[in-house]
Chain A
């Protein structure tokens, strides 16, 4: 369907599509097998200026918004959700600085992130703090001109690959939700190290590791925003970033649909291509409807977010839930259309199905997203009644 993109937006799609078709698609199976981080692809993305899509021009970016990065991510995810995740993780790590950081922090870090010279990562999750972020146990204590961090972050995307980490830690336990603060930690900071690389079901080429802080000392001015405002920054970051996960579902769903239709046209059974059978046609038709509906919702949510900075949560959560649940269903259906061949690693759909599952889990499980939507509905209807 035609979404009437501007000329600039179409250019973003074209550049991202070329990288996807020429670099990501040919390498994805091997990357899935070796679990190697896709450095050369990410370098090409950096050279093509796409790391700066959502970053204001005064910090070396292209000055676009949520919708612009969504257009690039859709293409990457059509090729490989692992590569797309590795790319998106840097944006997730950058948002806290963009949203709440001081002018000095923005000047220092954003140009490096916009050029792709340095990668960022976002560190919230811990062993006892997933959906319930209030379980955070990592602490930060002020000691003269330095903060001392102690604790372990878990399942951090881009860990070990990024140079700039935005980390939430408890600065005053007695203040509850108002007692957490975000910091920038650099890979070279003393007392900072990584745990082993996790072995995952899907998105295997993206790096997932622990961050370990043992008396990690960082300069005082690395606080993002005000002390005690960490949770607010985290929530705003996730509202902003979630359409980026939603669109991975759309891209992935499109990739699965493309594979399924191509296969159904070639595969002959009972003397006919299987696409001529209504049973197969209906599966493909439902896949196409779902993918297009997902795309329409994510594009609309992204545009809404770009226009309404103070009213993002519901749109952001709705598109994340719909598009990622859709990706799970559509990729399972793609495997069904390819049947025995689909189950084999010779075709990309089994990888797509494995990759899809994480989309329903990370950056807030889809159950948590429904909580958010429910709470927003409650607020909205209170106002109107």
Chain B
């Protein structure tokens, strides 16, 4: 089984600061980590490989320093690592990102399953997984909390819902985004670390992935961030009383004018 795991380097959430002047994320001096949900996707891929054989390739679009995160992924069990890096990718929104990743995946070509974290903890959009599946025209399952069965042509998974889970079976190749409930990511092994130190990371540029330059980076992005700000806390609040049904009525009354 050939599995691709998409991983993203994000600022450590324990250490996030906003630049008070520009209102953008201050990345200076903030430690970069592998997006925690992607870590679960990687672990699941490595477990599938251990059960069924095959290879795990980690793929990231990002600046050259994302190489460090890819080496960490290798130390946790990935076999190969691909970094898609080019100045032309800068400022990409999820639309341009899925285009870039889909071009890179077409270059890698051979795969049965793509795993992503359900979202990245910096942008929190949860759009790249589904967007990428759409671009590649393959089945997509979100919020996967368990992979039950995997044959040569199909895969069955549990999709976490608010009130339980859906049992979903799709043909391969397919793309899943996973939730943290799916597994407990492993600590890197010593042999993995030694391998990670030596491995050649495949580096691809916009030219290598035969990308249409108009669709890349800021130019190819349909969303433009106008302003980032911390919402002001107004402090107005109301406590609802009475029975549950009375509270629902009161809430409806309060919310109706807003609809």
Give chain A's interface residues, CB within 8 Å of chain B: 7-8, 11-12, 14-15, 18-19, 22-23, 44, 47-50, 53, 62
When distances are taken between beta carbons in the complex, the residues of chain B under 8 Å from A14 are 193
The answer to whether A50 and B187 touch across the interface, beta carbons within 8 angstroms, is no
B135 at the interface (CB under 8 A from A): no
Flag B177-188 by CB within 8 Å of A: 1 or 0 each: 000000000111
The answer to whether A62 and B186 touch across the interface, beta carbons within 8 angstroms, is no
Complex Cα distance A31/B120, Å? 35
When distances are taken between beta carbons in the complex, the residues of chain A under 8 Å from B186 are 44, 47-48
Partner of B190, one of A22, A23, A44, A49: A49
Complex Cα distance A48/B189, Å? 4
Complex Cα distance A23/B184, Å? 12
Residue of B whose beta carbon sits closest to that of A14:
B193
Consensus secondary structure, chain A interface: helix
The answer to whether B189 and A49 touch across the interface, beta carbons within 8 angstroms, is yes
When distances are taken between beta carbons in the complex, the residues of chain A under 8 Å from B189 are 15, 47-49
Complex Cα distance A48/B188, Å? 6
When distances are taken between beta carbons in the complex, the residues of chain A under 8 Å from B194 are 8, 11
Complex Cα distance A11/B190, Å? 7
The answer to whether B187 and A19 touch across the interface, beta carbons within 8 angstroms, is yes
When distances are taken between beta carbons in the complex, the residues of chain B under 8 Å from A7 are 197
Q: Which of B176-218 contact A (CB under 8 A)?
A: 186-194, 197
Q: Give the 3 A-B residue pairs with the shortest CB-CB distance, closest first.
A: A49-B190, A48-B189, A11-B193
Nearest CB on B from A115, distance (A): 11
Interface residues on B, range: 10 to 19
Complex Cα distance A47/B197, Å? 19
With A48-B187, A48-B190, A62-B191 known, 18 other A-B pairs at CB within 8 A are A7-B197, A8-B194, A11-B190, A11-B194, A11-B197, A12-B190, A14-B193, A15-B187, A15-B189, A18-B187, A18-B188, A22-B187, A23-B187, A44-B186, A48-B186, A49-B189, A49-B191, A50-B190
Residue of A whose beta carbon sits closest to that of B188:
A15
15 A-B pairs with C-beta separation under 8 A: A7-B197, A11-B193, A11-B197, A12-B190, A15-B187, A15-B188, A15-B190, A15-B193, A19-B187, A23-B187, A44-B186, A47-B186, A47-B189, A49-B190, A49-B192
Complex Cα distance A50/B191, Å? 9
Most-contacted residue by chain B among A8, A18, A48 (CB, 10 A): A48
Nearest CB on B from A224, distance (A): 28
Complex Cα distance A18/B186, Å? 10
Residue of B whose beta carbon sits closest to that of A64:
B190
Complex Cα distance A48/B194, Å? 12
Complex Cα distance A50/B186, Å? 14
Nearest CB on A from B186, distance (A): 6
Complex Cα distance A47/B186, Å? 8
When distances are taken between beta carbons in the complex, the residues of chain B under 8 Å from A62 are 190-191
Flag B14-42 by CB within 8 Å of A: 1 or 0 each: 00000000000000000000000000000
Residue of B whose beta carbon sits closest to that of A48:
B189
Nearest CB on A from B126, distance (A): 27
Complex Cα distance A106/B233, Å? 68
Nearest CB on A from B77, distance (A): 10
When distances are taken between beta carbons in the complex, the residues of chain A under 8 Å from B191 are 49, 62
When distances are taken between beta carbons in the complex, the residues of chain A under 8 Å from B192 are 49
Residue of A whose beta carbon sits closest to that of B187:
A18
Nearest CB on A from B244, distance (A): 38
Nearest CB on B from A23, distance (A): 8
Complex Cα distance A14/B188, Å? 9
When distances are taken between beta carbons in the complex, the residues of chain B under 8 Å from A23 are 187
Complex Cα distance A23/B186, Å? 11
When distances are taken between beta carbons in the complex, the residues of chain B under 8 Å from A50 are 190
When distances are taken between beta carbons in the complex, the residues of chain A under 8 Å from B190 are 11-12, 15, 48-50, 53, 62
Complex Cα distance A7/B194, Å? 9
Complex Cα distance A49/B187, Å? 11
Most-contacted residue by chain A among B189, B192, B194 (CB, 10 A): B189
Residue of B whose beta carbon sits closest to that of A18:
B187
